[in-house]
Amino acid sequence: MESYVLKNGVKIPKIGFGTWKLKEGEEAYQSVLHALKVGYRHIDTAQVYGNEASVGRAIKDSDIPREEIFLTTKIWNDKHSYSLAKQAVEESMQKLQVDYLDLLLIHWPNPVHLRKDKAWMQANQEVWQLMEELYQAGKLKSIGVSNFMVHHLAALLPHTKVKPMVNQVLLAPGTTQDDLVNFCRQHDMLLEAYSPLGSGSLFEQEQVKEIAQKYNKSVAQLALRWSLDKGFLPLPKSKTPANIESNLAIFDFELDPEDRKKLDLLEGLKTQSDPDQVDF
């Protein structure tokens, strides 16, 4: 598996296995176990997905050495204070059966209960301070954010000693978020592409099917290759063994610039939710 290198020198495998909506229990366990068996070495979970225990069990049962797996989880919106986040990270590590995380993210910048008087700004600083301490202590190998738009980053960055290494946002054909991507790149942050298949909405698009045929690839493979060609790190989710496997077969081709452009401009797919408007 090829890797990107984060600004602190940490290597991060170029595809991550997404686990949102994988049900706690057999579904999450079998899916993650299969992903590890067929070659994924990067797993993306979150406290709110409710499946950390199954993810941890699959990692353990895979018998793959811990240091060969890149594991991410995310702090949920009801834990946006120093002490609540501290306790939540400890609980995550317990459920995942690990004594360090490769990457911890603040899941959303602006939880609904912290909007009055822009309380989210102070809350993010507090959580970030905890993350910096855990990073310095070696409990977190890298730290970052998710769903942060430029104004959320601009509010946080002046209050950081260790800068975010990653921003995980929705990036998929039709959703390129150019201004945000440029801002993150200026700050040397890697862009992780969540919902790289538009949460499934991509498969209805005739134009995408036609482009995929040209490369003799599936629609999913085309979208994931687009993501890599853009310099993003895609996080496809699947509970279907054949899809889990075929989503890895994207390292043997590249898109022509005009096809990449067509995918950039696609319309009608799922787009990034506005973090300042979501109701959670």
- List, by residue number, the catalytic residues: 49
Closer CB to ligand NAP, residue 110 or residue 146? 146
Q: According to the binding rule CB under 6 A, does residue 235 interact with ligand NAP?
A: yes
- Residues 24, 58 contacting (CB under 8 angstroms): no
Q: How many CA atoms lie within 13 A of 180 on its CB side?
A: 23
Considering the complex, what minimum distance in angstroms separates the CB of residue 203 from ligand NAP?
Answer: 6
Residue closer to ligand NAP (CB basis): 135 or 148: 148
SS3 assignment, position 124: helix
Question: Does 240 contact ligand NAP by CB under 6 A?
Answer: yes
Instruction: Provide the minimum distance between the beta carbon of 211 and ligand NAP in the complex, in angstroms, as a whole number.
Output: 15
54 binds ligand NAP (CB under 6 A): no
Out of 40, 194, 226, 232, name the contact with ligand NAP by CB under 6 A: 194
Q: What is the largest CA-CA distance in the chain?
A: 53
d(CA 10, CA 173): 28
| Minimum distance from residue 220 beta carbon to ligand NAP (Å) | 3
Q: CA of 88: how far to CAs of 49, 69, 74, 184, 209, in Å?
A: 14, 21, 10, 27, 42
Stretch that binds ligand NAP, among 18-26, 52-60, 183-191, 259-267 (CB under 6 A): 18-26
Complex with ligand NAP: residue 206 or 258, whichever CB lies closer: 206
Task: Give the residue carrying structure tokens 């940490």.
Answer: 10
Distance CA 11, CA 213 (A): 33
| Residue 231 touching ligand NAP (CB under 6 A) | no
**Which of 61, 99, 188, 200 is the binder for ligand NAP (CB under 6 A)?**
200
**Least separation in angstroms between CB 117 and ligand NAP:** 25
Shortest Å, Cβ 85 to ligand NAP = 16
* Residue of 124, 142, 147, 205 interacting with ligand NAP (CB under 6 A): 147
Antiparallel, parallel or unpaired: β 233-234 and 17-18 = unpaired
3-state secondary structure string across 127-150: HHHHHHHHHHCCCECCEEEECCCH
Short-list 23, 27, 1, 26, CA closest to 14: 1
Contact 169, 178 (CB under 8 A): no
Q: How far apart are CA 140 and CA 182, in angstroms?
A: 26
Residue 205: which of 271, 270, 259, 269 has the closest Cα?
269
Pick the closer one to ligand NAP by CB: 80 or 117. Answer: 80
164 part of the interface to ligand NAP, by CB under 6 A: no
- Minimum distance from residue 32 beta carbon to ligand NAP (Å): 11
CB 225 within 8 A of CB 217: yes
Q: Which part of the chain contacts ligand NAP (CB under 6 A), choosing from 33-41, 179-187, 236-244, 252-260?
A: 236-244
**What does the binding site for ligand NAP look like in residue numbers (CB under 6 A)?**
18-21, 44, 107, 146-147, 168, 194-200, 203, 218, 220, 235-240, 243, 246-247
